[in-house]
């Protein structure tokens, strides 16, 4: 018969339970002057390990970025750099002007010849401005430009005459 063993076991378990309760409630701890040690804590703090102090930096994920595997050889470099799409295009539409000999593009007026015409036009406009006097004074009349020692025809009598003090240039024919 184990009745005495059973009673011992009960007593021991009751004592253990009492110890655990006192530990849980914290009544076993007695606050008294104790020794405080200044320095790095030897025991690791469990709560600090779970915290992340800094954000995941960019360089942590560098493993996903593209990078060249091999050096590009000079042959490959040359073929890329000398590709026709990057080279300057050769223009085949340049020709000399028939009148003056300066170069011009086929579909564009000659720069030299146009400059001559533009200057003469500007001088004619200066004369017109002097004739009109004030701005916004355009007459309702056709205009005719006459050079030195030129006189208007019969059909030109309704037009206002603009005089230019020079010989008529060869490229400005009357007709």
Partner 1 sequence: MRLTIQMLISHGRVARKMGLGPESRINMLRNILTGLVRHERIETTRGRADEVRFYAEKLIDYAKKGDTDEKAMKMANFWLTEKDLIPKLFKVLAPRFETQPKAYTRMARIPNRENLDKAAMAVLEYKGNPFPPLQTAKRDNDLTLINQLLKGYREQRAQQAAAKRQDVL
- Interacting residues toward partner 1 by CB under 8 A: 98-99, 104-105, 107-109, 111, 114, 117-118, 120-121, 124-125, 136-145, 162, 169, 171-173
Pairwise CA distance, residues 131 & 141, whole Å: 13
Backbone phi, then psi, for 120, in 5-degree steps?
-65, -40
Could you tell me the smallest distance in angstroms from the CB atom of residue 149 to partner 1?
A: 19
Residue closer to partner 1 by CB (options 80, 169) is 169
Q: Which of 115, 80, 111, 84 lies closest to 97, judged by CA?
A: 111
Judged by beta carbon, residue 64 or residue 175, the one nearer partner 1 is: 175
Q: How far is the CB of 124 from partner 1 (least distance, A)?
A: 6
Min dist CB 98 to partner 1, Å, is: 7
145 DSSP β-pair partners? 162
Three-state SS annotation for 32-97: CCCCCCCCCCCCCCHHHHHCCCCCCCHHHHHHHCCCCCCCCCHHHHHHHHCCCCCCCCCCCCEEEC
77 vs 169, beta carbon nearer partner 1: 169
- Choose between 78 and 129: whose C-beta lies nearer to partner 1: 129
Count other Cβ atoms within 10 Å, centred on residue 104.
21
> To the nearest whole angstrom, how small is the minimum distance from the Cβ of residue 99 to partner 1?
7
Q: Which is nearer to partner 1, 80 or 102 (CB)?
A: 102
Cβ atoms of 152 and 161 within 8 Å: the answer is yes
Q: Tell the smallest beta-carbon distance from residue 150 to partner 1 (Å).
A: 13
């Amino acid at each position: 018969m184990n009745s005495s063993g059973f009673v011992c076991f009960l007593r021991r378990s009751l004592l253990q339970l009492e110890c655990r309760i006192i530990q849980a409630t914290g009544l076993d701890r007695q606050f008294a002057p104790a020794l405080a040690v200044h320095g790095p804590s030897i025991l690791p703090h469990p709560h600090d390990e779970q915290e992340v102090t800094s954000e995941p930096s960019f360089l942590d994920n560098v493993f996903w970025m593209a990078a060249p595997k091999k050096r590009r050889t000079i042959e490959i470099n040359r073929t890329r750099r000398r590709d026709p799409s990057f080279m300057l295009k050769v223009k085949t539409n340049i020709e000399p002007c028939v009148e003056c000999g300066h170069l011009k593009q086929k579909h564009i007026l000659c720069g030299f010849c146009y400059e001559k015409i533009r200057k003469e036009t500007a001088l004619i406009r200066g004369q017109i401005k002097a004739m009109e006097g004030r701005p916004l004074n355009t007459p309702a009349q056709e205009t005719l430009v006459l050079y030195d020692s030129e006189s208007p025809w019969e059909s030109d009598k309704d037009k206002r005459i603009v005089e230019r003090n020079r010989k008529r240039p060869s490229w400005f024919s009357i007709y």
